Amino acid sequence: MKVARVVGTLTATVHQSSYDGQTLLVCAPVDARGAVVGDVFVAVDRAQAGVGDTVLVNAEGGGARLVFGRKLTDPLAIQDVIVGVVDAYHEE
């Protein structure tokens, strides 16, 4: 899973049906010091995260389908899902 910071919100009225009713947030991957370490990406929020939060992102579709209570074979076209809000994170 990836650690990222929520940096913005995304509005998309026209979307594929997998995204009906979902909250989309723009996230930037960060290291333990909070520095951005890659390109921004879009994630579906399933942990009531907000802008500025450091979050845990499941970045793979099989886990995403399980988070949504779907079977692994269901056609849910979602990859990145925010599954937790990080309270503390350090690297030794």
Which residues contact other proteins (rule: CB under 8 A)?
A: 7-16, 18-19, 24, 26, 39-44, 51-52, 60-61, 64, 75-80
Give the nearer residue to other proteins in terms of CB position, either 67 or 79.
Answer: 79
Least separation in angstroms between residue 64's CB and other proteins is 8
Q: In angstroms, rounded to a whole number, what is the distance separating the alpha carbons of residues 74 and 81?
A: 16
The identity of residue 25, as a single letter, is L
User: Considering beta carbons, is residue 3 or 5 the nearer one to other proteins?
Assistant: 5
Minimum distance from CB of 5 to other proteins (Å)?
A: 10
CB atoms within 10 A of CB 17: 8
Rounded to whole angstroms, how far apart are CA atoms 52 and 69? 28
- Which of 19, 67 has the CB closer to other proteins? 19
Amino acid (1-letter code) at residue 75: P
